[in-house]
Amino acid sequence: MFESGVPVDSLIGQVQGLTIRRDIVTNLDEHPLTLLSDLEEGGYTEPYTFRARRNLLLLQTIHEPRQMTFEEAYHRLVSDYQPIREQEWLQTLRQRYSVKTHPEKLQEIVSERS
């Protein structure tokens, strides 16, 4: 589809279940963003599964290094802090309620959907 020059935005509403997310990233050290490191502008990855969803990354533009805007820094901070907040919340729930987790059951469900 990309080879034919179809704009990504034109796919919205034409492909069932398609979600398009735009982001500016500076850290390519974590999967799946490591897949971007070998791409040139306009390049895209092969489809892959991540968090039980089919994905494809399109590298639209490579920007020169620059200082983040306040908004970019804010969103980065919120995103980086989210796992810490979730762990604190889970710890609070575990202290308040008797919780037994079954990660193997969750893994079975994820495997079935992949």
User: pLDDT of 25-37, one tens digit each?
Assistant: 777 888 898 998 8
Query: Does 44 score more than 80 pLDDT?
Result: yes
Number of domains observed in the structure of the chain: 2
The average pLDDT across 56-61 equals 88
**CA–CA dist 2, 45 (Å, integer):** 11
If asked whether residues 93 and 41 sit together in one domain, one would say no
The average pLDDT across 57-85 equals 90
If asked whether residues 15 and 53 sit together in one domain, one would say yes
If asked whether residues 16 and 48 sit together in one domain, one would say yes
If asked whether residues 5 and 61 sit together in one domain, one would say yes
Strand partners, 54: 49
Q: pTM (2 decimals)? A: 0.51
If asked whether residues 15 and 48 sit together in one domain, one would say yes
pLDDT of residue 53: 86
Range of the domain at 100: 67-114
If asked whether residues 51 and 94 sit together in one domain, one would say no
User: pLDDT of 78-95, one tens digit each?
Assistant: 989 999 999 999 999 989
Q: Find, among 65, 21, 22, 58, the residue nearest to 40 by Cα.
A: 58
pLDDT of residue 1: 55
pLDDT of residue 2: 58
How would you label 77-100 residue by residue, b for 16+ Cβ within 10 Å and e otherwise?
eeeeeeeeeeeeeeeeeeeeeeee
If asked whether residues 87 and 42 sit together in one domain, one would say no
If asked whether residues 104 and 92 sit together in one domain, one would say yes
The average pLDDT across 107-114 equals 86
